[in-house]
Structure 1
Amino acid sequence: MRWPSENSPRPTGFHLLTQSRELALPLPARPLRITHFAQGLWASGVGDQMVALLRGLPRHHRQLLAVLENEGPLRETVERLGVMPLEFRQHRAQRVKGEPAADTFEAWLRATRVDVLHVHDTPSALVAMPAALRVGCVVVMDRMSPVPGPDQDRTRRAALRWLTRHARHVVADTEATRHQLVAEEGMPDHRISVIPAGFDLERFELAARAGLQRPLPPVLAAPVLVHVGGMVDPSSREEDLLHALVQVRQRFPAVQAFFVGEGPRRPMLEQQARELGLSSGVHFLGYRVDVPAVLARARVAVRCGTTTGRSLALLEAMATGLPVVATAVGGFPELLAQGERGWLVPPKSPEALAEALVQALEDPKQAALRGARARSFVARELNVTRMISDHETLYQRLLPH
């Protein structure tokens, strides 16, 4: 493993820092050693927010990146920023015999003298946080889905709650997350900060204008529904959209659906689409780097899971101005203003999902109005510079001066 030296390149890019809406930050701020830790380098809400921090925090900080797996489409992006990911891979046999990845990370933490360790997801927290607690490092932990769902085993849920209680501070993406952490996990409110996702609208629009990187299926003038997300977790419930499509096609026989993303659930979903007689109307596009351009060719975006996480896919659809039909879980009602910026439906209800999709397709004026409100909200409230500034303020506040 290659450890960075004092002469390792620093991140480059835009380095904007404004005052937080709530906490004023005097400039210049104290230089910090900040290590971000994530499972991998996948294009997701977690990954893109982490890259935004690497790109945007002031350049006098020394930022490092640790991962459990040095894989994913964002690897090239972070390396262009001058950040070389450090891998602390935990192999299957190691999980049984012990925690060598955690031991190795602990030795690295002691040698590097990190000021702040920011843990961005659950798998990395399980490895990084025990080591950080032994070292006495300040830990900031992201909690985007406050209470793990029933699909996660009891031991994992208990471990996540224990780690959360022992973090110095927790970052929640919505007020709903904060409320559930306090009410259901007993977290003290003063140890939680709500920092909404930061969305780089300018970069998104540039990507949209760049156009498609490879062709889409020929759908002519048919209305297109689009679902973007990794087909990894059962909680994403893509199958609910397949069942809803059967009903939607009774009213709109030509409707087409694009599933953008890749994961181990894809073969099962493809088989289910065939069994439902949807082969001619459902297209699995795999991983795409041109999601903004794909969204620009759709009529409605869909999010139908039972948990939200930090849903980059939802924000991208809102930024496009697409009407969104989403399940009323987690922070989605906040983002969609209880339906004023889209349609909200109960989770695990293909019938309600189908009804909302039909409404969006039948009333294009109402759909356009809700889409326009969503785009305006992203531009006004989910500014990436604000998100970076709020993290900078938090890091500085947690350390002794």
Structure 2
Amino acid sequence: MRILHVETGRHLYGGAYQVLQLLRGLADLGMENILVAPHDSAIVSEAAGYAQIHPVRMRGDLDPRLPLEIRRAIRSNRPHWVHVHSRRGADWWGGAIANALGIPAVITRRVDNPERAAVARIKYRWYRRVVAISSAIKEILKKEGIPSHKLVLIPSAVDTEAFGYPYPREDFLRRFQLQPNHLAVGMIAQFIPRKGHHLLLQAAPMIMEAFPNARFLLFGKGPLLPSVRRECENRGLDPFVRFVGYRQDLPRILPCLDLVVHPASMEGLGVSLIQAAAAGRAIVACRAGGIPEVVRDRFNGLLVEPGDVGGLAGAVNALLGDPGERRRMGETGRRWVHEHFSPGSMVSKYLTLYKETVSS
């Protein structure tokens, strides 16, 4: 059976990383995957062993070549299903084209920013099922007028075994210019407004006052990176902050951190949070979007209200000052992720979904 996937993201971040895991899992079960993706995207090379690649040369999400390429890929491959994983163009065209060609289509919604109800109803009418990666997103889709019978909850997943091989302590310290007494606080997120980097920098002086040995490791890339760098300099935080970019060795780094912070004001679910929990790290995050479905307050981390700088600093300080509680939350989170966010479970749910769309 053949599934044609559409993923237009250029970086192997949250959504594209989930698509890669799905392709791998489906291929292991004998499914045939076709991937429509930008020719210069990271997923193209990573997915080559699990899918036939249909590369697209496109300048952006609204490039008129995209619908033509989606149509060409469907007509030439005649898949049993079309699965659209992206928004801003692909979501509009993918379902409509598949429907016109008589192929059932499903779409996965990964973000929690609302759309106008009229727009959502038109766009999703062509899809047999709309997958939400969190209950928060599912509720948003209901409010946008998407019929309940179309909605399916399938959370994102991470390979927990990948986080079982951390760098030796000395190696980790050397890589990030840290001293043995430093407390490493990590934030793993794209540099975009809703992730809350500026909030962390505002809280940093209060954290440093209580823990002068705290050091902040900021992972990721994005358009706000220059702005965050400037704010870091203006606040005199340069000696205490490391901008470490996108790291493919993140599974070996995460278990070495003392704490993970995620002050996002909007979040569909938060793959980096699932990864942090899989690595056995306690987490401080904001009570926004699907975050509470991964970080349960006082269970595997602490939750604060979005935008609450003092609350964020207080929660970080509480856990930095209590290594035993950090360890307890870390172990609890690791078990929680293994039970609820495994790749095998995600792949199985999607496979069931595909079969249901054909029967419907």
The alignment's TM-score, normalised by the length of structure 1, stands at 0.82
**Distance across 2 between alignment mates of 1:110 and 1:179:** 35
Residue number in structure 2 paired with 1:6: none
Do the aligned partners of 2:269 and 2:294 also contact (CA within 8 Å) in 1? no
1:230 and 2:196 are equivalent in the alignment: no
SS in 2 for 1:122: coil
Residue number in structure 2 paired with 1:13: none
1:64 to 34, 42, 53: 34
CA deviation map 1:32-62 (0-9, x unaligned):
2101111135222212221112111254322
Residue number in structure 2 paired with 1:103: 68
**Distance across 2 between alignment mates of 1:317 and 1:262:** 18
CA deviation map 1:202-257 (0-9, x unaligned):
233257689769922233321110011222x3111211111111211111122100
Q: 1:298 to 1:59 in 2, by over 3 A?
A: closer
Amino acid paired to 1:83? A
Residue number in structure 1 paired with 2:212: 253
Residue number in structure 1 paired with 2:6: 37
Q: 1:283 to 1:91 in 2, by over 3 A?
A: same
Do the aligned partners of 2:10 and 2:38 also contact (CA within 8 Å) in 1? no
**Distance across 2 between alignment mates of 1:294 and 1:365:** 21
1:134 and 2:100 are equivalent in the alignment: yes
Do the aligned partners of 1:70 and 1:85 also contact (CA within 8 Å) in 2? no
1:89 and 2:61 are equivalent in the alignment: no
CA deviation map 1:173-230 (0-9, x unaligned):
2222222221x21222221111122221123325768976992223332111001122
Residue number in structure 2 paired with 1:393: 352
SS in 2 for 1:347: coil
Do the aligned partners of 2:121 and 2:146 also contact (CA within 8 Å) in 1? no
List runs of 5+ in structure 1 lacking aligned partners: 1-31
Q: 1:398 to 1:127 in 2, by over 3 A?
A: closer
Superposed CA RMSD in Å reads: 2.6
1:291 shift after superposition: 0.9
Q: Which runs of 4+ in 1 moved over 3 A?
A: 146-149, 157-162, 206-214
1:386 shift after superposition: 1.1
1:197 and 2:156 are equivalent in the alignment: yes
1:146-165 counterparts in 2 under 5 A?
A: 146-148=112-114, 159=119, 162-165=122-125
Do the aligned partners of 2:268 and 2:291 also contact (CA within 8 Å) in 1? no
Do the aligned partners of 2:176 and 2:242 also contact (CA within 8 Å) in 1? no
Residue number in structure 1 paired with 2:127: 167
Q: 1:142 to 1:207 in 2, by over 3 A?
A: farther
SS in 2 for 1:109: helix
Q: 1:392 to 1:212 in 2, by over 3 A?
A: farther
The alignment's TM-score, normalised by the length of structure 2, stands at 0.90
Q: 1:255 to 1:146 in 2, by over 3 A?
A: closer
Q: How many residues align?
A: 357
CA deviation map 1:303-335 (0-9, x unaligned):
111221342211111011111001111121122
Q: 1:43 to 1:256 in 2, by over 3 A?
A: same
Do the aligned partners of 2:134 and 2:268 also contact (CA within 8 Å) in 1? no
**Distance across 1 between alignment mates of 2:121 and 2:313:** 36
Do the aligned partners of 1:225 and 1:300 also contact (CA within 8 Å) in 2? yes
1:294 shift after superposition: 1.8
Residue number in structure 2 paired with 1:77: 46
Do the aligned partners of 1:41 and 1:75 also contact (CA within 8 Å) in 2? no
Do the aligned partners of 2:9 and 2:86 also contact (CA within 8 Å) in 1? no
Residue number in structure 2 paired with 1:23: none
SS in 2 for 1:398: helix
Do the aligned partners of 1:207 and 1:290 also contact (CA within 8 Å) in 2? no
**Distance across 1 between alignment mates of 2:81 and 2:187:** 36
Amino acid paired to 1:61? M
List runs of 5+ in structure 2 lacking aligned partners: none
Q: 1:389 to 1:160 in 2, by over 3 A?
A: same
1:1-400 counterparts in 2 under 5 A?
A: 32-57=1-26, 58-72=28-42, 74-79=43-48, 81-91=49-59, 95=62, 99-123=64-88, 124-148=90-114, 159=119, 162-182=122-142, 184-206=143-165, 215-231=175-191, 233-400=192-359
CA deviation map 1:287-309 (0-9, x unaligned):
11111222222111011112213
Q: 1:119 to 1:235 in 2, by over 3 A?
A: same
**Distance across 2 between alignment mates of 1:263 and 1:252:** 29
Q: 1:61 to 1:349 in 2, by over 3 A?
A: same
Amino acid paired to 1:201? T
Residue number in structure 2 paired with 1:7: none
Q: 1:357 to 1:127 in 2, by over 3 A?
A: same
**Distance across 2 between alignment mates of 1:204 and 1:41:** 24
Q: 1:278 to 1:54 in 2, by over 3 A?
A: same
